[in-house]
Structure 1
């Protein structure tokens, strides 16, 4: 996503509102975050950890338990951090900040973990540069992000209704790979997972997206409520994707693990 399409203030507000409902709707988020955590090398034992885009603190708590060390949780949404603080006994390091401007000392972290937050960075190159700066030599950036093709069924269904932007846009794998190549880490791996969730009705998918705070925040999105006639057309279009399991919603997730090689020079974004 680029700066022309996303307003960070709207992102923070949307996820702050979703804090009370997020955890109950976050099955996919839990799965892909757990998969990311499982991709860390078994012999990698970080001391200073940042959970970047920590949300409600689920993986902040998981990281603290896994590595038996305090973890800093950082998020753009103050509402998420309040919720995380209330539900994370023993953890008290929470920072409201932007992934593209980390308020942390250079070479102060061993691990930066970030699950499904980077797709909300208009300048992913800047976020990668900041992660490189903050990591110690030998440190790891482990993150996942959504790719082009996510929610493709919903995107195509809306095209049968109008030409407005109704679904968030995501980076292609080619674009992501170029950014990873240029980030200066030297040692990285990117694997793509495809997940398909099924819903009895379209309304359950849209309600889940709202509960997660992952609503349409792009420029060109429609204003106001969707009329009944347009909603019927959308539903009819989506029904064409129905299978024996229900209405599918596809997600393309890039799982990335990068190590900062000693002696290498980072790339300024």
Structure 2
């Protein structure tokens, strides 16, 4: 079947969400050249999925990074992204790909207010996209209503200890102290999710280290996936993203300060802590 874009007249977004959408929109064409972290997390998350996932939502689908892997397991695929440019790029990526046995469609929407019927999907897949929502609990409660009985939510998200040592060095340059409180700790997130009614929870922590040849390459990768927004979206992201522009003097200072982290091969690490989560909808 052919892929079809589900049109929306407009999205009622907060100023912060509009900036997020704009950042990711500008990264649409460069995203797949810089998304090693996303790819590695997706590989791990896809391993948690069963062979058949029924009707699936790919939340934060980006430029169709995981589309075909999900299409191969599903009876219907809906790619959702807040950035229209991401949806446009996704359509271009899969236009010539055969998916005759699975209906493929697209939706420009905010994850916190999906315009979909109750009990209409079997699986929700969200790879490194839920850290952008303002209210995680309300969003997951919304997913509970969208899923059919025994439906599953699979998601990955960032934990305390992510974006180091770069984040700490950047914060020091800005005259502040790096705080791990930018992200939930493993224990905090587990407790928050376990307290939500109507779910069976499975949780795993995944440490990921991305090696870079230079500070500039590291910054370019983060910029290439749209990770330069610093607005107060929520506690997960507040001050945890990169400044959009570094002055020449601060960039030089950052390069000097980061030199001490180089390994024997002269490469720089960027450490991430990732939660891999499966939540199965329980019914009375």
TM-score between the two structures when normalised by the length of structure 1? 0.87
The corresponding residue for 2:5 is none
The corresponding residue for 1:3 is none
Q: Does 1:128 align with 2:135?
A: no
The corresponding residue for 1:19 is 28
Distance change >3 Å, CA 84–CA 167, structure 1 → 2: farther
Q: Does 1:33 align with 2:33?
A: no
Q: SS state of the match for residue 253, structure 1?
A: strand
Preserved CA contact (<8 Å) 2:230 2:243: no
The corresponding residue for 1:189 is 202
Q: SS state of the match for residue 19, structure 1?
A: coil
Q: SS state of the match for residue 79, structure 1?
A: helix
CA shift digits 1:19-74 (9 cap, x unpaired): 000011112211211210101245xx33211111111112122100133x230011
The corresponding residue for 1:75 is 81
Preserved CA contact (<8 Å) 2:27 2:225: yes
Within 5 Å, which residues of 2 pair with 1:94-133? 94-133=106-145
CA shift digits 1:98-157 (9 cap, x unpaired): 111111111111101111101111211111111111001110000101112111201221
CA distance in 2 between counterparts of 1:213 and 1:224 reads: 10
Aligned residues: 256
Q: Does 1:243 align with 2:249?
A: no
The corresponding residue for 1:47 is 54
The corresponding residue for 1:266 is none
Structure 2 unaligned spans of 5+: 1-14, 233-237
The corresponding residue for 1:88 is 94
* Deviation at residue 95 of structure 1 after TM alignment: 0.7
Of the three residues 227, 233, 246, the one matched with 1:214 is: 227
Preserved CA contact (<8 Å) 1:48 1:109: yes
CA distance in 2 between counterparts of 1:62 and 1:234 reads: 39
**Considering only aligned residues, what root-mean-square deviation do their CA atoms show, in Å?**
2.4
Structure 1 unaligned spans of 5+: 1-5, 264-269
Preserved CA contact (<8 Å) 2:77 2:105: yes
CA distance in 1 between counterparts of 2:211 and 2:254 reads: 17
Please identify, of 152-161 and 203-212, the stretch whose mean Cα deviation from structure 2 is larger.
152-161
CA shift digits 1:208-237 (9 cap, x unpaired): 111111113234869774222222211111
* Deviation at residue 185 of structure 1 after TM alignment: 3.5
Please identify, of 239-248 and 220-229, the stretch whose mean Cα deviation from structure 2 is larger.
220-229
Please identify, of 163-172 and 152-161, the stretch whose mean Cα deviation from structure 2 is larger.
163-172
The corresponding residue for 2:280 is 259
CA shift digits 1:71-103 (9 cap, x unpaired): 001111111001001111356411111111111
TM-score between the two structures when normalised by the length of structure 2? 0.83
* Deviation at residue 166 of structure 1 after TM alignment: 9.4
* Deviation at residue 261 of structure 1 after TM alignment: 1.0
Preserved CA contact (<8 Å) 1:138 1:262: yes
